[in-house]
Structure 1
Amino acid sequence: MRQRPLLPVTAGFLAVALSVTTPGLAEAQYLDDSPDRFKLPTLVSTGSNAISGEESRLGRAWLRQFRAHVPEWRDPIAQHYVETLVGRLVPYSDLGGINTAVTLVDNRSLNAFAVPGGVIGVNAGLFAFADDEAEVASVVAHELGHLSQRHYARAQARMEQTQIPAMATMLAGLILAAGGAGDAGIAALAGSQAALIQDQLRYSRRYEEEADRVGLRAMANAGYVPQAMVDMFRAMQRLMSLQGGTPPEFLLTHPITESRISDTQSRVNQTHVNQPREEDLQYHLIRSRALLAIHGRDPSQALTIMRQDDAPQDAQRYLQALLDARSGRIEAALTSLDALSRQYPDVAMLPASAVKVALDGGRVDDAIARAQSQLRLMPGYAPTAQMLGEALLQRDPGRAFRELSDLAERRPEDPSVFGLLAEAAGRSGHEAWGHLARAEQMQLTGDIDRAIRQLDVAEDIANREGDMNARARVRSRRDDFIGYRETMENF
C-alpha cells in the first residue's frame, strides 16, 4: 500500500439524521408558461416520503450558511463524480426517496459529513488521503448510515431524557456553591457535567457501530469491496499515532478503537459482494484534480505525490496535461487529453477536461465544438453542459440563456449555474429573469437579504416591461425567500 500523506483532520464527520415519516423535498417545481421557458426552482414539494419538510428546510438553510462561510471546491467535474458516487450508495442505505445535495469543500483536511435534509459534504483532502474509490465510498456510506438510522433525531430525544435531570443537578450544584458550600458545589456541578458527557459518548459509540453496519452493507451491495472500510480505519489509526497519539476532534466523535475495527473486520469476513466493481481510472483522475486544488500554489507537488504513490500512469498523464494547460501549453494538454479520450471512450470527464482546457485557454470556438460533440454522444453530462453555456456567453448569449435555463432546471441547487444564467439573461435582454437568477444564486450562498433586494429589482423591471410571468415568479419566490431567511436565523 502506498504511503499516505499526513493530512490535518478537522472537527467533523458531523453526522446527523433524518425523520422518515412525513413528506419532504422532491423534484423542484417550476412555472412552465413563460415564453422563455426560464424556470427557477422552489425548494420543497410533497413528492418524497423520506424527509420531513422541516428537516429539509433546516438542512438546506444550514447548507446556505455553510456556503457563506466556508470556501467551496468549485469543480463541476469533481462535483458530478461525487454526486454519482453518493447516488450509487443511497439506494442501499435505507434512505428511499431522499434528494441529496452534495457540497465539496476546498480544504486539505480529511473530512466528510452529512446533515439533515440529505446534505453530504466532502473535503478535497479525503481524496488525497484515500487509496481508492472504495475507501472514499466507505466514508460516504458510513455518513449515509448516520442519516438512515436517524441519529440526529434520536440524539435529540436522548437529550430531552437526560438534560432535565442533568440540569437539575447542575442547578443544585450552583445553589450549593452560591450558598457557601464551595468545593462541594463545584464538585457536584462537575460530576453532573461528566455524567452527561459520558452518557452522550456512550450513545455516540452506539451510533458509530450502527452507521458502520449500515454503511458496510450499502457499500457491499453497491459493489465495493468491504475490506476498504477496515483499511480506512487502520489508516486513520496510523494518522492519529503520527499526530502524537492525541485524537483529532473528529475521532472523539468517531472513535477508532481496536474493538470497533475487530467488529467491522468480523462483519467484512461474513459479507459477500455479488458483483464487485472493477477499479477504474476515474477515481485517480478526480484525485489528481483534488491534489491540484490542495496544492494550488505549487501545482508540481500534485504530480510528485501521484508519482510517489505509484498512481496509474494514465492518471499521471492526465495530471501532466492539466499542468501543461496551467503553464500555457494548451496544444500539448489537448493532445494528451484527446489521446486519453480515445483510449477510454466511456470516461466522460476526459473530453470534459479538454473542453475546460480549451475554454480557459481562450479557444472558445474549439470549446463549443468539443462540448457539442461530447453532448451528442453523452447527453445530459452536466459539467460539459455548464461549460457549453459558459462558452456560448461569448458567442451567442441567447442560446447560452436557453442552455443554462435547462441546466438550472436540472440543477436547482447549484449556485454556479445560476451565476452563469444571470449573466446570460442580462446579455440576451432578459433583464428581469437575470435579476431573478442572481437572486437564486445569492440565496443559495447564504446572502438572503441581498437576494430579496434582487427580487425587488426584478419586480420593478417586470412591471416596467409588462412581463407578467416574471412578476408572478418574483412574488412567489419572495414568499419562499422570507421563509428561508426565518429558517436561516436558527444558524
Structure 2
Amino acid sequence: MSLRLLLSVLIGLGGIISAIASPANAQRISLIRDAETENTIRAYATPLLLAARLEPSAVRILIVNNKSLNAFVAAGQNLFINTGLIMRASDASEVIGVLAHETGHIAGGHLIRSTQALKDASASTILGYILGGAAVIAGRPDVGAAVIGGAQNAAVRSYLKFSRTQESAADRAGVRFLDQTQQSSGGMLTFMNTLGEQELLSVSRQDAYVRTHPLTRDRIEFLEHHVAQSRYTNIPTPQKFKKAHARMVAKLRAFTLRKRRTFRYYPVTDTSVPARYAQAIAYFRSAGTAKALKIMVGLIAEHPHDPYFHELRGQILFENGRIDEAIPAYEKATELLPGSALIMTDLARAQIEKDGLEMRNRAIRNLKASIQLEPKRAFTWRLLATAEGKNGNMVESWRALAEEALLHGRFDNAISLAKRSQSRTEVGTPVWLRAEDIVAAATEAKNSR
C-alpha cells in the first residue's frame, strides 16, 4: 500500500507522567504505512539489531507522519521515526546513525529502567510534553519534556540527568554497533552537529529530537573522537542504501508535500528515477492520472522487477476506479514481493471491489496470508469480515470483526461479536476456541482499565 495515512494526529501538550506509558497513548499517532519505506528503514536497521544481539523481527518499524525531526523507541520494541527526519537527513548514513543510537536504547534496557524514573517524576510534578506533534510517550526517560510553567524543581533536574546519562550510553552503544557492521559513524556525527545548531534556537522553534534527546558538548566530543579514530570512518554508504534513500525521500516528499513544492525538488527536467517517481505521485495526487500512469509505464519498462512501481501503478488505477487493471498490477507486485502483508491486503481490497465468488475467495486467501504476517492490523481483519460476510460465512465474519474490535480497544463489542460467532459453531472448533480467547483477552483488558 503506497503511503496510507492511519489514525488521527493528537498533539499532547501536557499530562501526568505516570499516564504516559499507557498503550492507548501509543495508538494516538498519525502513522504512514508503506511497504517500501518500512522495508528501507528495516534494511538499515537489521545489521545494527543483529550486532546488538536483538531479533530484528521483534522490532516494529513505524513511520510517523510528522515534519519535525524526531525518532524514538516506545511501548516495547517499537521504533518510531518521523517522516521529517527521513526527508531532512542529508543521506542514508544520518538515518542509519539515528537508528544505531535508538538500537543502543533498546539494547541498554532503557525502556525498562525508565519506568521508575517516570514514576518518581510524576510524584513531584506534571510535565508538559511535545513529541513531534504526536501524543505518544511510553516509559522512556530520554523522551523529552517541556516543563509546564517553567518549573525547575529537583525532580525535573533528576529526570533530565537520568536522560542525559542514557543518551551518552546509547551513543557509545550505537558507534559500537556501527563499527561491528563496518559502517561509518560519520552520519551520526553530522546529524548531532545539526542538532547542535538547533540548540541555539528558542525551545518553541527547536525540533523534537533536540527536546527528546538531550544534547551535550560531551556527546559531540565523544563522537568527534570516535570518528577520528575509527577504521571505518571513510567507508562509503553502500550504493544500494543511497539509491533506496533517494527513492524513499522522493516518495515521502511527493505524498506529503503540495504538488508545487514537490516539483521544486524534482523539476520535469530531472529524469532520474527518484524524480520521475515523485513526479508520478504528484500528478496522481492532483488528478493528473494520465500523466502519472505514463511515467509509471516508463519506469516499469526500465525496471520490470521492481515491486513498488507495480504497487504504485495498482494504487493509481484502483483509486481511479479502474479495478480490472489494478488487480494485475497488484498481483505482479505481490509476485515480486511475496512477503509484503501491505501489498497483499491492497490486492485483496481490489479483488473484493471486483466482486464475484471466485474473486472474493482469492481475496480471503490473500487476507489470511497477510494476517499470518501481520496479525495486529485491524484494517485487514475488517476486509476479511467484509469478504466472508459477502460469501455468507457469518461465523468467520463475526470472528474477524471481533478481532478488529479487540485491536481497536472496543472490548464490549469484541466480546459480543466473539460470542455471536461461538453461538453458530460447534464447541471446540478452531473458530470457537479463538473466539473464546478473544472474550478472555477483551474481558481482562476491560477489567484492567
Q: Given the two structures, how large is their TM-score scaled by the length of structure 1?
A: 0.71
Report which structure shows greater RCO (CA 8 Å, sep ≥6). 1
Is 1:218 the counterpart of 2:181 in the alignment? no
Is 1:353 the counterpart of 2:312 in the alignment? yes
Q: Is the 8 A contact 1:375 1:384 kept in 2?
A: yes
Candidates 302, 312, 324, aligned match of 2:262: 302
Report the counterpart of residue 248 of structure 2 in structure 1: 286
Report the counterpart of residue 414 of structure 2 in structure 1: 451
User: What amino acid maps onto 1:439 in structure 2?
Assistant: A
Report the counterpart of residue 236 of structure 1 in structure 2: 195
Candidates 383, 397, 403, aligned match of 1:440: 403
Matched residue SS, 1:376: helix
Shift of 1:331: 3.7
Candidates 62, 69, 72, aligned match of 1:110: 69
Structure 2, unpaired ranges of 5+ = 1-10, 14-18, 125-150
Matched residue SS, 1:280: helix
Shift of 1:284: 2.4
Q: Is the 8 A contact 1:64 1:444 kept in 2?
A: no
Shift of 1:388: 1.3
Higher-Rg member (1/2): 1
Shift of 1:287: 1.8
Shift of 1:88: 4.2
Distance in 1 between residues matched to 2:22 and 2:35, nearest whole Å:
22
Kindly tell me: are residues 235 and 319 of structure 1, through their superposed partners in 2, closer, same or farther at Cα, counting changes over 3 Å? same
Is 1:255 the counterpart of 2:214 in the alignment? yes
Distance in 1 between residues matched to 2:287 and 2:300, nearest whole Å:
21
Report the counterpart of residue 394 of structure 1 in structure 2: 353
Shift of 1:146: 0.8
Q: Where do residues 56-455 of structure 1 align in structure 2 (5 Å cutoff)?
A: 62-63=22-23, 65-67=25-27, 69-96=28-55, 99-156=58-115, 194-222=153-181, 224-243=183-202, 250-273=209-232, 276-278=237-239, 279-295=241-257, 298-306=258-266, 313-344=272-303, 347-395=306-354, 396-455=359-418
Report the counterpart of residue 140 of structure 2 in structure 1: none
User: What amino acid maps onto 1:126 in structure 2?
Assistant: L
More moved, 396-405 vs 209-218: 209-218
Distance in 2 between residues matched to 1:237 and 1:329, nearest whole Å:
42
Q: Is the 8 A contact 1:100 1:119 kept in 2?
A: yes
Matched residue SS, 1:107: coil
Q: Is the 8 A contact 1:113 1:121 kept in 2?
A: yes
Matched residue SS, 1:429: coil
Give the root-mean-square deviation of aligned CA atoms.
3.6
User: What amino acid maps onto 2:26 in structure 1?
Assistant: F
Shift of 1:246: 6.7
Is 1:479 the counterpart of 2:440 in the alignment? yes
User: What amino acid maps onto 1:283 in structure 2?
Assistant: H
User: What amino acid maps onto 2:96 in structure 1?
Assistant: A
Shift of 1:303: 3.0
Distance in 1 between residues matched to 2:224 and 2:39, nearest whole Å:
31
Distance in 2 between residues matched to 1:268 and 1:413, nearest whole Å:
41
C-alpha distance after superposition, 1:402-433 (max 9, x if no partner): 11111101111223322322222222222222
More moved, 477-486 vs 131-140: 477-486
Shift of 1:342: 4.0
Q: Is the 8 A contact 1:138 1:229 kept in 2?
A: yes
Q: Is the 8 A contact 2:254 2:279 kept in 1?
A: no
Matched residue SS, 1:333: helix
Shift of 1:211: 0.7
C-alpha distance after superposition, 1:113-146 (max 9, x if no partner): 2124211222222222212222222222212211
C-alpha distance after superposition, 1:308-328 (max 9, x if no partner): 9x9983211111111222233
Shift of 1:330: 3.0
Matched residue SS, 1:104: strand
The number of residue pairs the alignment matches comes to: 401
